[in-house]
Chain A
């Protein structure tokens, strides 16, 4: 079963607007990661936030993590048409199974 569930499943915005995607997960984590996937391509690592961090920035990306609510959000500011892609959150439990567990993704469409 999927560890993470993303919300919304699809999002359509205009260029220049901000895009917010949310992710919820079920079990304790060591870190949470966000990935981007362009259509027909592999996944690209965007940002990693550790369980003891609450917020992290990378360029136009801002990620928050609330371990008490088992949720995370990804904010893309000043979106561009090139940001059109699917975005996935993935959790790393840090112990036991040493691999990522993915959510079902948010499909983002940025209209030029």
Chain B
């Protein structure tokens, strides 16, 4: 039981490049979400999903896309990376009524 797996752990992008942050969970959780964490701050919600085929925007969705074609996977796509997207990204999942399980994060730097 691996929990929530995020890849890659570190990434450096040039401004304008695109990439996909991967997130997979093996707990059959319905709810999944993406957060970003900037230095000294809490987590801000980017996008979330309440089940396969259903996604919605969070607080800071601009510049990011998501899809949820399967229960297990919830990739986050950066369309055209900007320095303001330099952050640590966390994926999390939970079953109904429970607490969230977080991945170990992806540290992204956009230069």
Given A42-B90, A44-B102, A100 and B50 contact (CB-CB distance below 8 Å): no
Chain A count of residues within 8 A CB distance of the other chain: 23
Determine if A20 is an interface residue (Cβ-Cβ < 8 Å): no
Q: In this complex, what residue of B is CB-closest to A34?
A: B99
**For B98, B99, B103, B104, which residue has the most chain A Cβ atoms within 10 angstroms?**
B99
By a CB distance below 8 angstroms, the chain B residues around A45 are 99-102
Query: Is A2 within 8 A of B104, CB to CB?
Result: no
Q: With an 8 A cutoff between CB atoms, is A60 at the interface?
A: no
Residues of B within 8 A of A (CB): 31, 33, 35, 40-45, 48, 50, 56, 58-59, 90, 92, 98-105
Identify the A interface with B (CB < 8 A).
Answer: 1-2, 4, 33, 35, 41-45, 47-48, 88, 90, 97-105
Closest 5 CB pairs of A and B: A45-B99, A102-B42, A99-B48, A42-B102, A99-B33
